[in-house]
Structure 1
Amino acid sequence: MTPGENGPSTPEDDDPFGYLYADGQARGAQPPSGGYGYPNSVSRVRTVGERQYGQQQATYGQGVPPQGAYGQQAPQQGAYGQPNAHYQAPETLTGGAPAGRQPARPAPGRRGPNTKGLLIGAIAVVAAVVIGIGVAMINGNSDDGDKNADQVGTAPTQSQGHSPSPSGSSSAASDSMQSDASALEPAGGASKASDVKGASSSDGSYVTGLNQPGASVTWKVDVPSDGPYTLFVYYSAAGADQSMSVTVNGTPFGSKLDMQNYRHAKDGDFTNGWTHSFVWPTLKKGSNTISVSCGAGDKCNTLISNVKLKPGQVKKDS
């Protein structure tokens, strides 16, 4: 060692890369044997997976194989598809692979419309409508049934018969639109009598002698309003069924008054033949004249005890 030269690798002249230059090589600089860049560097490259967790690290300078110097060939990598010696999977480490991040829970989707509630509401509405229609139809049918039982039309053209009713069931009422035979006007040979029992008039009287052409009985009556009415005629028929003509305010009614022998009384047995029948004339407000007569082609062997009017077209006299 000469004065003024301390030799290679002195601290003040420590150039880690001196071996790369000619003057450094002239001074004897050598490539470092430790970690990359500096001599005796503590950075030691380890093979992947070589270090075991929980074990004591090797002391500096002990148990650590020197890495290849610069210029030396690096260790050969494994062939494609073969495991690399410098790699060790995390699951092989003590304690297993570190817990991965939990996948983020998807945000709850936006809640759609409450279709179930809407469906229930729609069904309730439809059910209410159906129930309402059913109730209306039932009420309508009931009303129609009652109306048909009491009213049939506004312009009847035929007389209506009625099943036999017991004697006395149609006795005079306090109603002003009724009249016994005593208040009727017989004509054409008809007359009043009271010999035959069972007449429904209040005094037992009736009109007889109607069994001849032109014979009639007339009733004058006041009604409260225009419209259809039901004329009940109480009579007795014996033997064959009978029929007579009806005139309203001088105009013939459209059909005959049907006077059947509903009681099935034997010929001449007028005591057991009392019953009633009806027609549906249209009357005007105020005074009206109604006549029952024996016209051409009629069968008039009957006795008439009383007459009665009811508003509307009904089938029952009470």
Structure 2
Amino acid sequence: MTAGNTGSDTPGNDDPFGYLYRSEGGEGGAGGDGATRQQGVPRTSYNQVRAVGERQYGGASQQSGPGRQNASYAAPETLPGGERARTPQAGPPAPPQRNHKGLLIGAVAVVGVVCIAIGIAMLNNSGKGADNKAQPSETVSASEEPEHKPTEKPSKTPLPKDDAGSLKLGGTAATSKDIPGARSAGGVYVGGMNTPGASATWTLNVEEPGAYKMWVGYGVPGKDQNLTLTVNDKRDPRPLNMGNFANAEEGAWDKWTSTWQRVPLNKGTNTVTLSCEDGNKCDVNIDQLWLEKKIA
């Protein structure tokens, strides 16, 4: 018995699943070889045994294997290299990457340019303010233009200073230039003051009334001396101290020094008199008189 029948020609003995592997061929419609079925002849197997690897496409048998090639189809794995022979499919293109570093550098550059421009503008404005005065936005006529008069500061007259040659002398007082070192012009000084009644009067002018510090340049023969001081016909109760501040040796007249006394003066003309009176030690020479400053 073969697959597909029971050895009987009875139709009921046919394999009910024979249609699955039976090929209908020929005029009788049975048998894979196209032969006409004859009654009383047992059916042959409907199986058509083929060699392993043999495939049928479009009614033609093709044998795969070494030395044979299927013209209609070849599996990728049968090609040389197998899986490696497959050409990989290109995927979708990757999205472009943004250059964040370039954007940051560009932003910093823009900020730098803006800062430089602001600095230049500030320098220009400051330069204009220093060198050039801003021009008015409206034109002003000559008649409407305000007058800019310079502020006149009162001229401050230097305080008076005179040499002995300009003094008014009285009594035995007289000018001389025998002793060297006098600081007045030409070395002229006033001597002969050692006799009572001898005097030297200084006339001076001041712009402001008040008390001033008056200096007297003099020389003594190594001993302390003094004179009477009279200001604007008013005698000062304190004599003018003319000590041996230069530490001159006794009898040495060439060591010149100076002393000062507070004197009250009026605005305008004033007179200051140095005189030898009773009770004074008047052995003194005078070379200069000057005011230093106003004091309280």
Higher RCO (CA < 8 A, seq sep 6+):
1
TM-score tier, shorter chain, comes to 0.3 to 0.5
With normalisation by structure 1, the TM-score equals: 0.43
